[in-house]
């Protein structure tokens, strides 16, 4: 994969500035996907459901910098990833003194 270091634009109509923007968009997507551990299969399905045209194999290659996607496809993928992240259960939060036993009440009822 020597090519990734050469200044060759990623698309025929690409120029250095758009190539740079492409790369940071790709990196941000990769970070988001890894951080939330989004499963590739589901990410592809969601992307496909929004009109994405690349295959699961191409998405994987794109995330790993081995393949480039047209800007439009990158934007669909970004929207798909963000929606999946928004659907994840929120992480557990701390509670305050006036609401501390709020979460425990239902369980206590069952244990009686």
Which stretches of 36-104 are DSSP H helices? Answer: 40-49, 56-63, 71-87
Asked if 107 interacts with other proteins (CB under 8 A), we say yes
Nearer to other proteins, 53 or 65 (CB): 53
Asked if 90 interacts with other proteins (CB under 8 A), we say no
Q: Which residues 6+ apart lie within 8 Å of 53 measured at CB?
A: 73
User: To which residue do tokens 């006036």 refer?
Assistant: 98
Asked if 82 interacts with other proteins (CB under 8 A), we say yes
The CA distance from 97 to 69, in Å, is 51
> Which of 11-19, 25-33, 48-56, 95-103 is the region at the interface with other proteins (rule: CB under 8 A)?
48-56
* Single residue of 21, 31, 65, 88 touching other proteins by CB under 8 A: 88
Asked if 105 interacts with other proteins (CB under 8 A), we say no
* Single residue of 14, 23, 32, 45 touching other proteins by CB under 8 A: 45
Q: How far separated are the first and last CA of the chain, in Å rounded? A: 64
The CA distance from 95 to 13, in Å, is 54
Site of interaction with other proteins (CB under 8 A): 45-46, 48-51, 71-72, 75-76, 78-79, 82-83, 86, 88-89, 106-107, 110-111
């Amino acid at each position: 994969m020597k090519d990734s270091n050469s200044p060759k634009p990623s698309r025929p109509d690409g120029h250095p500035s758009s190539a740079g923007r492409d790369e940071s968009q790709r990196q941000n997507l990769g970070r988001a996907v890894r951080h939330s551990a989004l499963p590739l299969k589901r990410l592809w399905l969601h992307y496909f459901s929004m009109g994405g045209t690349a295959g699961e194999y191409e998405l994987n290659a794109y995330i790993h910098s081995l393949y480039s996607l047209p800007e439009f496809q990158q934007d669909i993928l970004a929207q798909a990833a963000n929606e999946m992240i928004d659907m994840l259960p929120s992480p557990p939060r701390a509670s305050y003194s006036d609401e501390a036993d709020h979460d425990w009440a239902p369980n206590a009822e069952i244990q009686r």
